[in-house]
Amino acid sequence: MTEAPHAGLAVNGTPYESVIGIECHVELRTQTKMFCGCRNVFGAEPNSNVCPTCLGMPGALPVPNRLALELLVKAGLAFGADIPAFSKFDRKNYFYPDMPKDYQISQYDTPLTQGGLVEFWVRDGTRGRCRLTRIHLEEDTGKSSHAGSRDGRIAGSKHSLVDFNRAGVPLMECVSEPDIRTGPQAVAYLETLKRTFVALGVSDVKMEEGSLRCDVNLSLRPLGSSAYGTKTEIKNMNSFRSVERAIESEIARQAALLARGERIVQETRGWDEAAGTTHSMRSKEEAHDYRYFPDPDLSPIAFAGDDIARLRGELGILPNARIERFISDGVPLVQALQLIDTPGLAAYYETAATLSGKPQATLNFVLGDLSRLANETGIPVHASRVTASALAELVALVDAGTINSKTAKDLLGRLWADGGSARTLVESEGLAQVSDPGAIDTVVAEVLAANGKTVADYRAGKTKVLGFLVGSVMKQSRGKANPQLVEERLRAALETTGVS
């Protein structure tokens, strides 16, 4: 079940819908490249991690990276894809300056995985699903750098630079069916892919480093039609927000063309982040343009049933399963996604909530004070000195009324800095909450006696000053008084003077 069609999309009064498919390229997390022993690292000196194989020198032969093959199969299994008994590598032939061999080793008609389904949550709470056509494996290209304008021609410069460090890095391409209808759906789909790949250890999926890149194929058609319109492909988006903006911009552009009776041209378009618009780059290639044929230097691939069973057993708890569990436990979607999308936080929360038996109170601490401390110090919550068991103990102390929320917050800061046990600190330093009405009445009497004008204001109907009086009692009790009891005893004391 997917989200409703694009709201308000109409061409000359006729309702239309957008039809969107996504090709998502993800660099795999391996130590070496796909077909050679060069290091797979980001940020190295240009052209320092290259060899005859990844540069396509004559006579150099490729050898597949087994880990890359297994990582891709795990990605497919996570989304219920089929792993065929036979797979092979193909040569995808095209000329481009960052492709040193003038062909790319990829997969065409027999990929490593086929099918699959991505279920996702849109931020507005709606659910969606998108079928996968395939996830296949290929080698990445190099990276071109152009000075100034898009064509590299500025201030007399007519050249570009190419860094081949990225050439040959293992790259998996996730190809979706055209099941997505809106920009928010596209973002939710991509976020689901990202969090799943992170959880599996398949990739770090850092868009700013180019380890996750996506192309969007988009067309428009009358609502209810089964025929596809003419599609365009959008490239050069460096964030999920850019993907959403590019989709909205291209929908508006195509709708305007149709409204004027003009023809949409099948082409590849770039995304201009600053202008917020797409622009034409080149005509869109078809599969036959690449002249695919089996790579003669690489043997076919066959995964044994035992290997597939082993990889399936290594998947662990997937993010979607955790989100489902969180939501069924009453955690709001936004908070469930916050837990899932912060590495290590979901497992930390689940452990602490299980130990405390108070999931909501635990969640408040995890997404509140603990997340704040993590942001301030740069230390992830799960790697901090506040262990899950220490947090559970703190939650239990608050729930039992042994300490109040202010003391709990102070203790959390101390535990973050030094570690240890909240209960030990409470007992050794006498931090237990004061809930004895007689003891609190004594402090209340002292505060009222010292604040005659405030008492008079209250008596005159300015009841908001009660907050000041509560704060004064808390301060005088060094934060140990039970706040609820303080307010109750203050009201009782004030009522004895005739104040209602």
Q: Domains in the chain, please, with CATH?
A: 10-309 (no CATH), 317-429 (no CATH), 437-495 (1.10.10.410)
Q: Please report which confidence band the pLDDT of residue 7 belongs to, taking 50, 70 and 90 as the band edges.
A: low
Residue type, position 224, single letter: G
The listed range with the strongest mean pLDDT (209-223, 280-294, 458-472) is 209-223
What mean pLDDT do residues 389-400 have? Answer: 92
Quote the percentage of the chain above a pLDDT of 70: 90
Whether 315 and 200 have beta carbons less than 8 Å apart is answered as yes
What SS3 class is residue 273? Answer: coil
Nearest Cα to 278, choosing from 329, 234, 242, 325?
234
Give the range among 153-167, 255-269, 452-466, 471-485 with minimum mean pLDDT: 471-485
Nearest Cα to 231, choosing from 263, 186, 266?
266
pLDDT of residue 230: 94
Label the pairing between strands 103-106 and 90-93. antiparallel
Residue 500 predicted with pLDDT over 60: no
CA trace torsion 6, 10, 11, 12 (10° rounding): 180
Which single residue is written with the structure tokens 């800095």? 417
Q: The tokens of 120 are what?
A: 């996702």
Dist. CA 50–CA 57, nearest whole Å: 11
Q: Please report which confidence band the pLDDT of residue 155 belongs to, taking 50, 70 and 90 as the band edges.
A: low
Nearest Cα to 2, choosing from 241, 184, 240, 201?
184
Residue 153 predicted with pLDDT over 70: no
Give the range among 221-225, 345-349, 436-440, 452-456 with minimum mean pLDDT: 436-440
How far, rounded to the nearest angstrom, does the alpha carbon of residue 232 sit from its chain's CA centroid? Answer: 27
pLDDT of residue 423: 87
Residue 88 predicted with pLDDT over 60: yes
Residue 2 predicted with pLDDT over 50: no
Average pLDDT, the chain: 88
Label the pairing between strands 267-272 and 117-121. unpaired
What mean pLDDT do residues 19-43 have? Answer: 96
For the chain, give the longest Cα–Cα distance: 100
CA trace torsion 181, 204, 34, 42 (10° rounding): 120
What mean pLDDT do residues 94-102 have? Answer: 86
Give the range among 23-32, 42-51, 130-139, 155-164 with minimum mean pLDDT: 155-164
* Residues in a beta bridge with 103: 93
Is-above-0.85 flag for pTM? no
Residue 347, Cβ density class (10 Å: 0-12 exposed, 13-18 middle, ≥19 buried)? middle
What mean pLDDT do residues 307-322 have? Answer: 94
Residue 345 predicted with pLDDT over 90: yes
Nearest Cα to 24, choosing from 208, 213, 169, 166?
213
